[in-house]
Amino acid sequence: MAPPAGTIRPGRYLSFFVLIIVALYSLVFLTGDGEPTPKLGIDLQGGTRVTLTARTPDGQEPSQEQLDQARQIIETRVNGIGVSGAEVVLDGTNVVITVPGEEGEQAKNLGRTAKLGFRTVINAQPVQQGQQGQQGQQGEQGQDGQDQGQQNGQDGQDQQDGQGDSPDAEGSPQGGGGSQPQSDEEIAREIREAQQVRQNPALDPGRNPQQGASQQAMQLQQQAMAGLTCSANDPLVGNDDPERPLVTCNEEGTEKYVLSPVFLEGTQVDDASAQFDPQQGWLVNLQFKSEGRDTWADYTAQNTGANAAFVLDTRVVSAPTINEPIPNGRTQISGDFTDAEAQNLADILKYGSLPLSFESSDATTVSPTLGLASLEAGLIAGAIGIALVFVYCLLYYRMLGVLTVLSLALSATIVYGVLVLLGRWIGFTLDLAGVAGFIIAIGVTADSFVVYFERLKDEMRDGKTFRSATPRAWVRARRTILASDAIMFLCAGVLYALAVGEVRGFAFTLGMSTVLDLIVVFLVTHPLVAMVSRSKKLSSPKLSGLGTVQRLGGQRRGGVHISQAKAATNTKGA
């Protein structure tokens, strides 16, 4: 005879769950670095979060393809500097970089457009000290550096202008960012005005062979440089036209330049690295690709004595004098670099230019102390929630409450192992939003137990014993549990698909906990209840907490027997 629906062999289910735990923690301890701790997000261990806002020359929304490409390049830069646990996500038209730990300072430079181009210096003049003070520039006049071309093992040193760390050069007199946020239309108009003044084709006398073009170009150059303020925000950053001349400043704001159109794109840079030289300090080595190497060799051969400007995001990084041809393409940028500045510049040049220009709209640094306090607060909130659930279950369900506590403990065990492995395999980091998701999941899991236990009571009220009511209650409660968890998982999935950042972390942990809830209910809670129902000692009314329900069920069974006996007597008498 087949067993009733819902009847199981508890040992098999529990054995299968034990195998899952063993396999899970074997992966935890035997793979990766062996450290059995999940990765924590910025709000739990501290770190840096930088929000970059994209802007386009015409003020229109950037395309999704451009945003995806920018995110991939920035992510490559993050991986290239060796930062672990970092996250680069899109939030609308913003790129959000999150770097946990103490390595976040480098993240602030990852959003630089890195639009590198090589231009010939047409004209240059120093910024007067009085003008420099009015423009809010800080620092002293830069020192002369050197650009070194290496050929056949011999070093040729080229004199160049100094550089250092300074604010961005601003564009035309109409440009500049104020304290008030600008609309897309205002930014687009500012870019067009800057291009009209600072990228006028007539600035380059070599492009106009007509008589008097040289004198006209000189006048335009003087006007453009006179109106140029080397201040904080340059509207042409990432938006300059490489096929036109350019009027700009160096990084320190101590020199103004009129430059020719780009003769060599920065995309031809094959490799870049920082190197320390005892005599010159920190250098940035450049190695060109084959096509760029040929272009650079021809240029240095034909323009000996000229100055070639290395222009990064419209700012002149270096403007060395070409003293000799450099046929092998190995070039060095030297100057007043620190270790971090040289490494940042090398990383930006090495990992490519962004398809969009970005401005840092927000940069937040969270100290490890604050992160630790947040973690403690989250753990305390979770502990309080679990304690309240435990107390309620023990008082109301007694033995079934003990099974609830045990099931939740096993659920926490499997959740912890999954968190550790997800951190290693997909870089998942647990943040405060994720902790909130787990706290809510405690209620979801406990709700599944309540549905099962209350259905069990209903069956016993109908006159069934604890043992016979268990399989019937499970069959009916199972449908409700599956429907409830399916709805919860669907909500978490939709939220994860539509949200970004921390909200996605909340949705992910909630959905994952919902799936693990089903595993625990099916493989642990139900088998344990079945085992208790078959034990005379554990299923006793006082210990199980089902005494009142059993007495009510017994009364109903007795009433049925009495009614049946009376009916039989009446039938016999008739």
* Burial class of 540 by CB neighbour count within 10 A (0 to 12, 13 to 18, 19+): middle
Q: Please report, rounded to a whole number, the percentage of residues in the chain having pLDDT higher than 70.
A: 74
8 Å CB contact between 89 and 68:
no
| Mean pLDDT confidence for 443-449 | 83
Q: Output the six-digit token pair for 6.
A: 């819902």
| Mean pLDDT confidence for 499-509 | 80
| Angstrom distance (rounded) from CA 574 to CA 563 | 17
For 535-555, what is each residue's pLDDT tens digit?
A: 888 777 777 666 566 565 555
64 or 14: whose pLDDT is higher?
Answer: 14
Residue 554 confidence (pLDDT): 54
| Mean pLDDT confidence for 121-137 | 66
Residue 6 confidence (pLDDT): 54
Average pLDDT for the chain: 76
Q: How far is CA 142 from CA 163, 168, 242, 331, 423, in A?
A: 6, 15, 27, 21, 46
328 or 483: whose pLDDT is higher?
Answer: 483
Q: Which fold has domain 47-109?
A: Alpha-Beta Plaits (3.30.70)
End-to-end CA distance of the chain: 39
Asked if the model's pLDDT at residue 383 lies above 90, the reply is no
Asked if the model's pLDDT at residue 169 lies above 50, the reply is no
Residue 5 confidence (pLDDT): 53
Q: At what angle do helices 432-461 and 502-520 cross, to 10 degrees?
A: 30
Asked if the model's pLDDT at residue 137 lies above 50, the reply is no
| Mean pLDDT confidence for 118-141 | 64
User: 63 falls in which pLDDT band (50, 70, 90)?
Assistant: confident
Asked if the model's pLDDT at residue 215 lies above 90, the reply is no
Query: Which residues on neighbouring strands pair with residue 275, listed in sequence order?
Result: 283
Nearest Cα residue to 467 out of 527, 535, 551, 559: 535
Q: Which CATH class is domain 10-38+367-560?
A: mainly alpha
Asked if the model's pLDDT at residue 472 lies above 60, the reply is yes
Adjacency order of strands within the sheet including 330-334: 154-160, 145-151, 330-334, 281-288, 269-277
Long-range pairs for 269-274 at CB < 8 Å and ≥24 separation?
A: 269/116, 269/349, 269/350, 271/350, 272/345, 272/346, 272/347, 272/349, 272/350, 273/346, 273/350, 274/337, 274/339, 274/342, 274/343, 274/345, 274/346
User: 448 falls in which pLDDT band (50, 70, 90)?
Assistant: confident
| Mean pLDDT confidence for 154-183 | 40
| Mean pLDDT confidence for 435-454 | 84
In degrees rounded to 5, what are phi and psi of residue 3? -70, 155
Q: Please report, rounded to a whole number, the percentage of residues in the chain having pLDDT higher than 90.
A: 11
Q: Which of 71-80, 278-287, 478-487 bottoms out in mean pLDDT, i.e. has the lowest?
A: 71-80
Q: Which of 110-114, 153-157, 539-543 bottoms out in mean pLDDT, i.e. has the lowest?
A: 153-157
| Mean pLDDT confidence for 126-150 | 45
Residue 326 confidence (pLDDT): 81
8 Å CB contact between 207 and 259:
no
For 224-273, what is each residue's pLDDT tens digit?
A: 888 888 876 778 876 788 899 999 998 788 899 999 999 998 878 888 88
8 Å CB contact between 435 and 378:
yes
Q: Which CATH class is domain 116-350?
A: alpha beta
Taking the CA atoms of 27, 28, 29 and 32 in sequence, report the sign of the dihedral they define: positive
Asked if the model's pLDDT at residue 282 lies above 60, the reply is yes
Asked if the model's pLDDT at residue 364 lies above 90, the reply is no
Q: The tokens 């630089």 sit on which residue?
A: 112
Return the top range by mean pLDDT from 44-53, 116-125, 178-187. Answer: 116-125
Residue 567 confidence (pLDDT): 44
Q: Output the six-digit token pair for 69.
A: 């490409």
Q: Which residue spans within 260-303 are E strands per DSSP?
A: 264-265, 269-277, 281-288
Residue 331 confidence (pLDDT): 78
Q: Letter for the amino acid at 351?
A: Y
| Mean pLDDT confidence for 377-397 | 82
8 Å CB contact between 318 and 144:
no
| Mean pLDDT confidence for 475-501 | 88
User: 97 falls in which pLDDT band (50, 70, 90)?
Assistant: confident
**How do the domains of the chain map onto residue ranges?**
10-38+367-560, 47-109, 116-350
188 or 488: whose pLDDT is higher?
Answer: 488
| Mean pLDDT confidence for 109-119 | 74
Asked if the model's pLDDT at residue 312 lies above 60, the reply is yes
Residue 79 confidence (pLDDT): 67
